[in-house]
Amino acid sequence: MLAVLTGPVRSGKSREGMRLALASGARVVMAVGGMPDDDEMSRRIERHRTGRDAAIVVIETSGDPSWPERVPADACLLVDCLGTILGAGLAALVPPDVDVLDDATEREAERTADELVAWLIHRGGPTVVVTNETGWGVVPATPLGRLFRDVLGRANRMLVDSADVAWLVVSGRAVPLHTLKQEVSWLKER
């Protein structure tokens, strides 16, 4: 079973993802990717830690591409959030002073994301993926920002296409994506 919750920041995705994971009946393993690289981010991470059930096992993924190997097959995996996990991996691929990405870096970024997405899709145990929607605003000013936007957008689409259930969570409301058409068409005249 694969469930995906996507949407903007602070929309309620994490709360709903946790609710789904706990309702699975399996023990919950939560994969998180935040890195405490400044005081503000450290405070955010600490608030996240104190706000979750003590029975939840947490795997910190940053800097460890082999983290999926630590997820028990029978556990419910809660990924919170895919954007943070992929972002850390992409940041490691792109030097901070680069002005233009080369094709090899773009391919490596897509390969890395594709492998993670494929693993999430084909995983045996219940899986809940919380992810962010990007690209609804301005074009990012940096090559890394544009790469992140493109890679995460593609990963989200692949996950939702394969998910058993998917929601767009906006302002605390969940819009069921799995019930909507995938293709657009002209409205029929009446």
Confidence of residue 73 (pLDDT cuts 50, 70, 90): very high
Contact present, 105 and 94 (Cβ < 8 Å): yes
* Domain at 2-176, CATH homologous superfamily: P-loop containing nucleotide triphosphate hydrolases (3.40.50.300)
**Cβ atoms within 10 Å, residue 157:** 13
Q: Could you tell me which residue, 64 or 25, shows the higher pLDDT? A: 25
Give domain limits for the chain. Answer: 2-176
Query: In the predicted model, what is the mean pLDDT of residues 139-151?
Result: 92
Across 50-62, average pLDDT: 82
Calculate the average pLDDT of the chain.
90
Please report which confidence band the pLDDT of residue 38 belongs to, taking 50, 70 and 90 as the band edges.
confident
| More confident: 169 or 65 | 169
- For residue 138, what pLDDT band results from cuts at 50, 70 and 90? confident
- pLDDT, average across residues 102-120: 95
**DSSP calls for 107-130:** HHHHHHHHHHHHHHHH-SS-EEEE
Q: Are 89 and 112 in contact (CB under 8 A)?
A: yes
Could you please report the per-residue DSSP string of the chain?
A: -EEEEEESTTSSHHHHHHHHHHHTSSPEEEEE-----SHHHHHHHHHHHHTS-TT-EEEE-TT-TTGGGGS-TTSEEEEE-HHHHHHHHHHHHS-TT-SS--HHHHHHHHHHHHHHHHHHHH-SS-EEEEEE---SSSPPSSHHHHHHHHHHHHHHHHHHHH-SEEEEEETTEEEESTTS-SS--PPPP-
pLDDT tens for each residue of 150-175? 999 999 999 999 999 999 999 999 99
* Active-site residue set: 48
Query: pLDDT value at position 189?
Result: 65
Work out the pLDDT band at 52, boundaries 50, 70, 90. Answer: confident
Query: Confidence class of residue 190 from pLDDT cuts 50, 70 and 90?
Result: low
Q: Over range 127-142, report the average pLDDT.
A: 92
Name the pTM for this structure.
0.91
